[in-house]
């Protein structure tokens, strides 16, 4: 069958930049699905996207569907012919319905019954007929939140459609897509080359557009931007800050990228650089430049869509636009300094944290008391912790945070430094919000760790205390994220404390304020909620569910101590990779099953009643290994403990090969059950490895 290369292009008004890549990928995926559903094979699809176009090149696609046979089922053979072998009324009705004569009737086996049927030859449709419908369906299925209609057209799209190209090799495919007749005419850059371009064939697309100052390939355009931005940054010994989302958005805004470096007055560098960076990135789509120490430099890079004969005009225009924005940030920063952070508590006293839990100032006072209590656990200076907690929320009332909400905490750090607070207190104001998301960095100071814990614990116990537990996808106070944050702060800082040590003082603050009705229930529910987060947290780290279950389903509760729980998880992770792991997991499962059916007799193993060599050997090994493992367990060195226990593989295997546990002699059986119980206790003092899947 012959193969073709197809080019499809939809020309539009400027497409929304934040969703251009998504639209391109969805168009490709939907078209692939349409071709596969139609039974049309192809080698690959290249997808292109620029501000005014979405395009696909389908390489080596079948010229038509394969011819097929369709089966139409009739009555059973038994009911189709009479005793003389003539067609019955049932068969005549079937033939009439299908418009066929007796010579066209076939039979097939349907289970135990033979039936008559008609095998109709179906000619495959050709590509020209199928393609327009496949492409229109793909466009109809694109993820567009709001579609618009243009002029008299009844079809809708994300932006008004201006032209459609549909070529099969050198030929135009006769089609109407989005109410536009398909042709072989496209258009170049809106300003540099706006005239019509006639495409000779499907393969001419990229080069023809490049000659008309349009780089249609998104990745190629992005690579050009990356290269230009780096070169401009290198010229001033700086590094460009290029967030992935902004990089994609800028790539989606230009057809012919031309990066230009501009500058701003150095006096603005006195303003918190986060504010300057935010305003330049969000409002102006600029790439900011920093030095090797991550300090903002007085430059920015803008990516223009025009290759100007006089680029200085574009540079000056951008400098003129950015100046008022930087001036605003500077004004807010200077205004805020007229009022000390601590004096802002009056405004916090008028800002509600949660109707039943009081104001942000109430919360600050609770966090301060809790931070002092937690200092004993985190080794923070209690005076620093208290001070930082009382200042923590003050910057929420500042003008800078009012304008740039993402600067909460960061602004506080700047103001605290200007007021002469020490590093621990100042840094803690920004660090209280860490980690902000899964995998985010943690506070670097002990005071920051303490405030970050106290803040999350206050929110968690308070919201649970008033019965507003997260349900399904509803979690307005982000308690799931807070809970994982609490666990990470404890584990990664290697703080050896229990969840009781954290939850009880937090609940106590609410009790003193008479804000929660049932402290016992609050403790129980917050405890369960926190321990329920382990699984999500470790799965995020790529740890398998059975490893997590090996620790979380122990008969006692290591989850009360997050650091201890983590050490056990790491030990099981290590153990899994040992060559003995699979055999020991299977043996432990066997032991667990035996002990589940039989009650373990009281008392210790009686050495005199060990008769088989294999049970004597296992007992001797257990006696020898127990004094080695016990100090490791006491020191919580679970990884080393499990690696020592791996030595039991051979004697355990020999035991199960050579010893009948369920002996007829009750004394022998009891003694063997005690031996297995001793073995099982040794392993489960770390984890229940019987649940591991190999």
Confidence at residue 647, expressed as pLDDT on a 0 to 100 scale:
92
Helix (H) or strand (E) holding 177: strand 176-177
Which candidate, 363, 409, 370, places its Cα nearest to that of 386?
370
pLDDT at 148: 65
Average pLDDT on 664-682 reads: 88
Say yes or no to pLDDT of 567 above 60.
yes
Give pLDDT, residue 102. 85
The Cα–Cα gap between 49 and 8 comes to 12
The pLDDT assigned to 669 comes to 86
pLDDT of residue 153: 60
State how beta strands 196-198 and 53-62 pair.
Answer: unpaired
User: Contact 615/692 with Cβ under 8 angstroms?
Assistant: no
Q: Is the pLDDT of residue 408 over 80?
A: yes
The pLDDT of residue 149 is above 70: no
Tell me the pLDDT tens digit for each residue of 201-219: 999 999 999 999 999 999 9
Q: In the predicted model, is pLDDT for residue 603 greater than 60?
A: yes
Strands of the 68-76 sheet, one edge to the other: 68-76, 113-122, 105-110
More confident residue, 427 or 154: 427
Identify the DSSP state of 602.
S
Of 335, 345, 465, which is closest to residue 396 (Cα–Cα)?
345
pLDDT tier, 245 (very low <50, low <70, confident <90, very high otherwise): very high
pLDDT at 438: 85
Q: Considering the chain, what percentage of its residues have pLDDT values greater than 70?
A: 98
- Please report, in angstroms and rounded to a whole number, the separation of the first and last CA atoms in the chain: 48
Per the prediction, the chain carries an average pLDDT of: 93
Calculate ∠ Cα 90-93-97, nearest 5°: 140
Nearest in space to 288 (alpha carbons), one of 238, 221, 237: 238
Mean pLDDT of 189-205: 94
pLDDT classification of 388: cutoffs 50, 70, 90: very high
Lowest mean pLDDT among 290-294, 471-475, 499-503: 471-475
What is the tens place of the pLDDT at every residue in 284-297? 999 999 999 999 99
Q: What band does 43 get if pLDDT is binned at 50, 70 and 90?
A: very high
- Which of 65-69, 477-481, 686-690 is the least confident region? 65-69
Q: Residue 152 pLDDT > 60, yes or no?
A: no
pLDDT at residue 127 is higher than 80: yes
Which residues fall within 8 angstroms of residue 393, CB to CB, at 6 or more apart? 348, 360, 361, 363, 364
Residue in 7, 114, 4 with CA at minimum distance from that of residue 57: 7
- Is a pLDDT exceeding 90 seen at residue 424? yes
Which residues 6+ apart lie within 8 Å of 395 measured at CB? Answer: 341, 344, 401, 407, 408, 409, 411, 412, 415, 429
Q: Which range among 1-5, 51-55, 188-192 shows the weakest confidence by mean pLDDT?
A: 1-5
Tokens standing for residue 45: 């699809």
For residues 266-286, give the mean pLDDT: 95
Q: Say if residues 52 and 10 touch (Cβ distance below 8 Å).
A: no
What is the spatial distance between Cα 200 and Cα 167, in angstroms, rounded to a whole number? Answer: 9
Looking at the predicted structure, is the pLDDT value of residue 553 above 90?
no
The secondary structure of 430-498, three-state, reads: HHCCCCCCCCCCCCCCHHHHHHHHHHHHHHHHHHHHCCCCCECCECCCCHHHHHHHHHHHHHHCCCCCC
Stretch (H or E) spanning 10: strand 3-12
pLDDT at 101: 86
């Amino acid at each position: 069958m012959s193969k073709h290369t197809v080019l499809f292009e939809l020309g539009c008004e400027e497409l929304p930049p934040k969703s251009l890549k998504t639209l391109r990928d969805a168009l490709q995926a939907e078209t692939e699905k349409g071709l596969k559903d139609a039974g049309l094979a192809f080698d690959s699809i290249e997808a292109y996207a620029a501000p005014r176009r979405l395009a696909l090149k389908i390489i080596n696609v079948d010229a038509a569907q394969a011819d097929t046979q369709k089966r139409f089922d009739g009555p059973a053979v038994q009911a189709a012919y009479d005793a003389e072998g003539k067609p019955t009324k049932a068969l005549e009705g079937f033939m009439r319905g299908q418009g066929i004569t007796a010579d066209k009737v076939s039979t097939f086996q349907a289970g135990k019954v033979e039936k008559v049927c008609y095998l109709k030859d179906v000619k495959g449709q050709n590509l020209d007929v199928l393609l327009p419908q496949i492409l229109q369906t793909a466009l109809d299925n694109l993820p567009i939140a709001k579609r618009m209609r243009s002029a008299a057209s009844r079809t809708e799209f994300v932006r008004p459609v201006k032209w459609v190209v549909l070529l099969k090799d050198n030929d135009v495919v006769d089609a109407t897509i989005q109410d536009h007749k398909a042709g072989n005419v496209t258009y170049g850059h809106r300003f540099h080359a706006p005239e019509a371009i006639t495409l000779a064939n499907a393969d001419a697309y990229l080069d023809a557009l490049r000659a008309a100052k349009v780089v249609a390939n998104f990745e190629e355009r992005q690579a050009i931007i990356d290269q230009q931005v780096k070169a401009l940054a290198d010229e001033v010994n700086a590094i460009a800050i290029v967030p992935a989302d902004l990089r994609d958005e800028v790539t989606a805004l230009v057809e012919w990228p031309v990066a230009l470096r501009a500058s701003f007055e150095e006096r603005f560098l006195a303003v918190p650089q986060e504010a300057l960076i935010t305003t330049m990135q969000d409002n102006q789509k600029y790439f900011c430049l920093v030095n090797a120490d991550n300090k903002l430099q007085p430059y920015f890079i803008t990516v223009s869509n025009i290759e100007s004969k006089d680029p200085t005009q574009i540079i000056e225009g951008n400098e003129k636009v950015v100046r008022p924005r930087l001036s605003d940030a500077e004004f807010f920063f200077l205004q805020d300094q007229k009022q000390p952070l601590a004096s802002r508590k009056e405004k916090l006293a008028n800002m509600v944290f949660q109707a039943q839990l009081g104001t942000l100032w109430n919360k600050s006072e609770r966090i301060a008391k809790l931070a002092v209590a937690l200092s004993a656990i985190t080794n923070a200076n209690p005076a620093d912790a208290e001070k930082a907690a009382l200042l923590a929320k003050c910057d929420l009332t500042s003008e800078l945070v009012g304008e740039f909400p993402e600067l909460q905490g960061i602004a506080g750090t700047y103001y605290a430094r200007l007021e002469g607070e020490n590093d621990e207190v100042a840094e803690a104001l920004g660090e209280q919000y860490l980690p902000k998301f899964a995998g985010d960095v943690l506070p670097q100071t002990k005071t920051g760790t303490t405030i970050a814990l106290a803040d999350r614990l206050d929110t968690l116990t308070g919201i649970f205390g008033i019965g507003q537990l997260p349900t399904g996808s509803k979690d307005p106070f982000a308690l799931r994220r807070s809970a994982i944050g609490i666990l990470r702060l404890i584990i990664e800082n290697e703080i050896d404390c229990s969840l009781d040590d954290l939850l009880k003082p937090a609940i106590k603050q609410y009790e003193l304020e008479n804000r929660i009705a049932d402290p016992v229930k609050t403790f129980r529910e917050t405890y369960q909620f926190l321990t329920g987060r382990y699984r999500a947290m470790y799965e995020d780290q790529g740890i398998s569910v059975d490893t997590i279950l090996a620790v979380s389903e122990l008969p006692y509760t290591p989850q009360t101590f997050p650091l201890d729980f983590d050490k056990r998880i790491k030990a099981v992770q290590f153990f899994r990779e040992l060559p003995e792991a699979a055999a020991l997991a299977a043996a432990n499962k066997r032991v667990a099953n035996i002990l589940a059916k039989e009650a373990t007799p009281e008392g210790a193993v009686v050495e005199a009643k060990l008769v088989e060599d294999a049970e004597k050997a296992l007992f001797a090994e257990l006696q020898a290994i127990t004094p080695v493992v016990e100090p490791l367990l006491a020191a919580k060195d679970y990884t080393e403990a499990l690696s020592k226990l791996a030595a039991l593989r051979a004697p355990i295997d020999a035991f199960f090969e050579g010893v009948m546990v369920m002996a007829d002699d009750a004394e022998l059986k009891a003694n063997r059950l005690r031996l297995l119980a001793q073995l099982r206790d040794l392993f489960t003092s770390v984890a229940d490895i019987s649940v591991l899947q190999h």
